[in-house]
Amino acid sequence: AAVAVPRPPRLLLLLLLLPACLVWRRVVGQGPDGTRNGVAFQDCPVDLFFVLDTSESVALREKPFGALVDEVTAFTNRFIDRLTERYYRCDRNLVWNAGALHYSDVVEVIKGLTRMPDGRADLKSRVSSVVSIGKGTYTDCAIKRGIEELLVGGSHQKENKYLVVVTDGHPLDGYKEPCGGLEDAVNEARHLGIKVFSVAISPDHLESRLSIIATDHAYRRNFTAIAAPQELDKTIDIITNMITENVEHTCCSYECQPARGPLGPLGDPGYEGERGKPGLPGEKGDAGEPGKQGDPGPVGYQGMKGEKGSRGDKGSRGAKGSKGDKGKRGIDGIDGKKGEAGFHGLPGCKGSPGFDGLRGPPGPKGDPGPYGPKGTPGDPGVDGKAGRPGNTGVPGEKGQPGGAGVPGEKGESGDEGDLGPDGPPGERGANGERGPQGIPGLRGPRGEKGEPGPQGDQGREGPFGPPGEPGEAGPAGPKGYRGDEGPPGLEGPKGPPGPSGLPGDAGLMGERGEDGAPGNGTDGFPGFPGYPGNRGDPGAEGPKGYPGPKGDDGEIGDSGDEDGSSTVPGMKGAKGYRGPEGPPGPPGPAGPPGPDECEILDIIMKMCSCCECKCGPVDILFVLDSSESIGLQNFQIAKDFIVKVIDRLGSDEHVRFAPEESRVGVVQYSHDKTQELVAMGDANINSIGELKEAVKNLHWIAGGTYTGEALEFTKDQLLRRFSSDNRVAIVITDGRSDTLRDPVPLNALCEANTQVYPLGIGDIFYSPPNPEQLSSISCNGVSILRENYAELLDDNFLHNITSYICKDKKCPDYTCPISFDGLADITLLVDSSTSVGSRNFNTTKKFVKRLAERFLTAAKPTEDSVRVSIVQYSGKAQQKLEAQFEQNYTIIAEAIDNMQFMNDATDVNAALSYVTNLYRQSSRSGATKKVLIFSDGNSQGITGSAIERAVQEAQQAGIEIYVLVVGTQANEPNIRVLVTGKTTEYDVAYGESHLFRVPDYNSLLQGVFYQTVSRRIAVNRVSRA
C-alpha cells in the first residue's frame, strides 16, 4: 500500500519561493559583468512637474517688480536640488523625472520631463532664466498643459505622476477661464490619477482657490514658497516624503515575476476609445475676411428711460379745434336702499399649517479669512491601517513555458462534457405536460342555433340612464327645525306701498339724528300770514339812548349891532379857501446811513441766481486701470465712482454736459493693445445718460498693467477730440505699471496742456500704490492716495474731487475795494469767554484772518501805512496780545491760528482799558486809531456807567470804537453805551455806522459781510468829542 506523504502548507511554499524569485531577478537584471542592464522594472520612476505662476498679480505686487517671481524660481531650484534617488527594500530604486512650466494668460514650457540627476543643471538654469509674463492668470490652462506633459513625456507608471502648482490663487472671480475652469482641470487630474500639490507664493493669497487646486487637504497643508530657509526645507521634505511613501506602496506591491519574455503575437484591435476632452486653446488665428452684411436683427427691447431733457421752446399757438359731438345721455341709475347690518359670522376653524417654503438660494461666498499663524508641530500620529490594494496593473507579455510542476491537488469538478451517442429506445413514457396553445385555426361555418344556456351571473352595473320625468308631488313633510341664519341676501325690488296702519302711541323723543343730505327740491310758495296775536304787557323802561346824529347847519343869522349889545349870536361861516404856503421849517435830525457798496453787492448776490461762480466748460478724461491686480469688485466700485463724479458735477457745480459745453470720456486699459474708449461724441452716445450706461457696461479685462501705453492712447485718441483749453484727466490705478515691458513713459499727458490727477489706490492684496509712478503720471504735481477702493464713494471725497476739477471757476467780480489815505493802527479785540464756545471761537478766528488780510492788502501810500494788532480777552486780568501792530500778514495769520480759547468770564471794561494803554505805548503819532470789539454787551458785575467811563477814556486817547454783535441775546443798553460812550442819549446815525450785527457765528463767513465791516472801518470818520 502506498504511504501518504504530507503536503507543505501554501504559506511555507511562498516563503521558500520568495528568495528564489529575488535571486532570479538579480541574475536577470545583471549583465555578464554583474552590472545593471537597465531593465525597466528595476527602477521606480516618479514624474514631477512644476507649474509656476508669473502673472501680473505676482510680478507687480512688490518692488522691485519681479521680486516675487525670483523667489518662486529660487524655491523651485531648491526643490529640484532635493530630488535624490532612494532605494526601497523591495530592491527597486526611486528615480525622479522633473520638468516645469510658467504661465500667465499664455503657458510657456520651461523644460519637459528630464531624468534626474542628469538633467538637473540644465533644468535649474532654465528655471532661473524665467521672466514673468505679467498678464492675466489662466491657472486652468496651465494645469491641463502640465497634465499633458506628464502623460506624453512621462513614464509608464500612471500612479506615480505629480503636479506642484505654485500660485497666489488669483483671481477669485470676474471672468470666464478659457480652458473650462479651475475645477474642471483639477477633476481631470484626479480622474487620471495625477496628484496635485498646491503651494502659496506668499501669505497674501486666496486660500479658497488653493484648496480647490489641491487633490485634498493633505496636499495643501498651508505650503508656502516664500519663507525662511528652514521652513522651505521643511515644506519640500513633507512633499517629497509623501511622494516616496505613496510610490513605495505602488512599486513594491508585486508578485514574484520572471524576466520579460519575447513579444507575443499582435492582439485583436480594441474598441474605439471614448471621445477625448477638448484640447488646449490654439494660437489666435489671422483675422478673417469681412463677412457679408447680416439680416436685420429683431426689434430690440425698449430701452431704459432717459434723463429728463431740457425744456423745449414754446410752440406756436395751434389752430382752434372743432366742437365735438354732443354725448349721449346716460341712463339714470337706481338708488339702492341701504341694507341692514348683518350678524357677525362665527370664527372660522384654524387653518392647517402651510407647506414648507422653498429653500432659499445659497448666500454669497464670504471673503477669505486672514492668513493664520503657522501651527506648532503636532503629536506623532498613530500607525495607519493598511492601505487599500493598488489598481490592477497592465497584463504583461506572455512568458516562456515553465518546467513541469509537482502534481497538484485534486481539482474541482470540471464543466459538463459533450453529449454521448444515442442509446437503445426506452419504454413508453407517461403522458407529458400540456403543451402551449397552438395557433388558432380558420373560422368554420356558422352552426345551428343551440339550446338556451343556463342563466349567467349578474353583470356589472351599467352606465346611468337619462333622467326620468318628474313624479307627482308627494305629501307635505313635517316642519323642519329652524336652520342657522344665513347671510343677508341681495336687496330686493322696492314693493308697492302698503295700506296706512293705525296711528301708534307717541314714543319718547329720540336723540337728534345726523344731518341728512341736502335735498334737491325747489323753494315752496310763501305761506299765508298768521292771525294777529294778543297785545302783550308793557315792557320795563329802557336805558337812556345815545345822542342822535348832528343836525343840518342852520341859516346865517342877522348881523349884530355895532356896539355889540345884541345878545343873539350869528351863524358859523362857510369854510375858507387854502391860505398861502408858509416858510420852510428847520432841518430834522439825520437819519441812518443807507447801504454802502459792499452791502449792495451782498444784496445782489443773494437775489441774483446768475451771480454764482460757474464751472466749465471743462473736458474730463477718466483713465481706468482694468488689470488683474485691481479685482472685479474694485473695478465695479471704480465705475460707480466715475458715474457719481459726473452726477455731482451736474448737481453741485452746475456743469452742463453737451457737445458745445463740457464733455466726458473714459479709457479703460490693461496690457498691450487692450484699451477701450467710450466718450461723448461716439456714434452710439448722444447724451450724458448714454455715456453713463456705457461706463456701467465696461467689462473687467484682468490682464497686465501698461499705464504708459494707455496714457499715450488717451493722448492720441481722446485729446484730439477734446480740444478745450480746460482739460482734466483722472487716472485711477494701483500705481504699479509694468515698466519692464511697457516702454512708453508715464508722463505722456504732461505736454498736452492737461491737468493730470492720479488716484493711487491699494489693490486686492491691500498693497499700497507706488508713489514714484504716481508722481510721474501727475507731472510731479498732486497725487491722491487711498487705502482701498471703498473710500472712493465717500461723500467728502467726492466733494473734494469735484472741487479739484472745478477749482478754476469763472466768478463775477464783486469786490468792493478799500483804501487808506494815511497812517492807520487797527486792533481786533476778540471775545474768548465761555459764552462764545470753542467752536464759535474757531469760526471767529477765520473771520479775523479775513479782516486782517483785507486791511493789509488795501491800497495805501506806503507798505507800512497800515498795521494790525490782535488781542483776545476774557476775565478781569485775562487779556493776551497775540500780535502787536504787524504789517506782515503771514505773521498775523500764524498768530491767529495759534490762539487758544480761554473759556472764562467776560470783562469788556478791562479789555478796553488794556487796548487804550496799548495805543498810548505803541501807536504812531498822526495815525488813525481804530478798534473792533467782539462783544454781546454782557459783562459780569459791570454797570453802564462803568462802561461809559472806559469808552470815554478810549475816545479821549483818540480811539474810534466799532462793535460787532453776534446772536440775539445781547445786552442792548450796554451795547449802546459801548458804541457811543453815553448812557443818556443814543445817536442813531453814529450807532448804525459803528455797530455790526449777525444772527449767528456762521453768518460771519457768508457773503461779503467781512468786506462790509472792513470797508466801514477803513472810511475816515471824525472822532466824536
Tens digits of residue pLDDT in 283-323: 566 666 676 666 666 555 455 555 566 666 666 666 666 56
Cβ neighbors of 45 (< 8 A, separation 6 or more) are 95, 96, 97, 154, 155, 157, 160
pLDDT over 50 at 853, yes or no: yes
DSSP state of 711: H
- Determine contact, residues 703/741, Cβ cutoff 8 Å: no
For residue range 210-249, list pLDDT tens digits in order: 888 999 888 988 898 888 889 999 999 999 999 988 888 8
Among 521-530, 532-541, 764-773, 857-866, the minimum mean pLDDT is found in 521-530
- The answer to whether 730 and 764 have CB atoms below 8 angstroms apart is no
- The Cα–Cα gap between 1000 and 987 comes to 26
Residue 439 is predicted with a pLDDT of 61
Identify the CA nearest to 627 among candidates 711, 738, 702, 699. Answer: 702
Is residue 932 packed enough to be buried (19+ CB in 10 Å), middle (13-18) or exposed (0-12)? buried
Nearest C-alpha neighbor of 1003 from the set 962, 968, 961? 968
Terminal-residue alpha carbon distance, the chain: 167
pLDDT at 508 exceeding the cut of 60: no
What gap in Å lies between CA 805 and CA 650, rounded to an integer? 12
| Rounded distance between C-alpha atoms, residue 530 and residue 899, angstroms | 97
Q: Give 628's pLDDT tier (boundaries 50, 70, 90).
A: confident
Find the DSSP H helices in 44-135: 56-59, 67-81, 120-128
- pLDDT value at position 500? 56
**Cα gap 62→596, rounded to integer Å:** 64
Spatial separation of the C-alpha atoms in residues 18 and 14, rounded to whole Å = 6
The pLDDT tens digits of the residues spanning 133-154 come to 888 888 999 999 999 999 988 8
Whether residue 453 has pLDDT greater than 90: no
Tell me if 831 sits within 8 A of 934, measured CB to CB: yes
Q: Is the C-alpha dihedral spanning 353, 358, 361, 362 positive or negative?
A: positive
Indicate the range of 347-361, 847-861, 944-958 predicted with least confidence.
Answer: 347-361
Segment among 187-201, 477-491, 1011-1025 with least mean pLDDT: 477-491
- What whole-number percentage of the chain has pLDDT above 90? 27
Look at residue 740 in the predicted model and tell me its pLDDT.
82
- The C-alpha atoms of residue 52 and residue 508 are separated, in whole angstroms, by 106
Spatial contact of 820 and 980, defined as CB atoms under 8 Å apart: no
Return the minimum-mean-pLDDT range out of 139-143, 492-496, 599-603, 734-738.
599-603
How confident is the prediction for the chain on average, in pLDDT? Answer: 77
Looking up cell 501792530 gives: 885
pLDDT band of 262, cuts 50, 70, 90 = confident
Q: CA 915 to CA 961: how far, in whole Å?
A: 11
pLDDT at position 722:
84
pLDDT digits (tens, 9 = 90+) for 868-884: 999 999 988 899 999 99
**pLDDT digit string, tens, across residues 830-839:** 999 998 999 9
> How many Å apart are CA 335 and CA 332, to the nearest integer?
9
Nearest residue to 142 (alpha-carbon basis) of 205, 218, 53: 53
pLDDT at res. 257: 46
**pTM score of the predicted model:** 0.43
> Span 81-96, mean pLDDT?
84
In the numeric block, the cell 503651494 is attached to: 199
Contact 133, 54 (CB under 8 A): yes
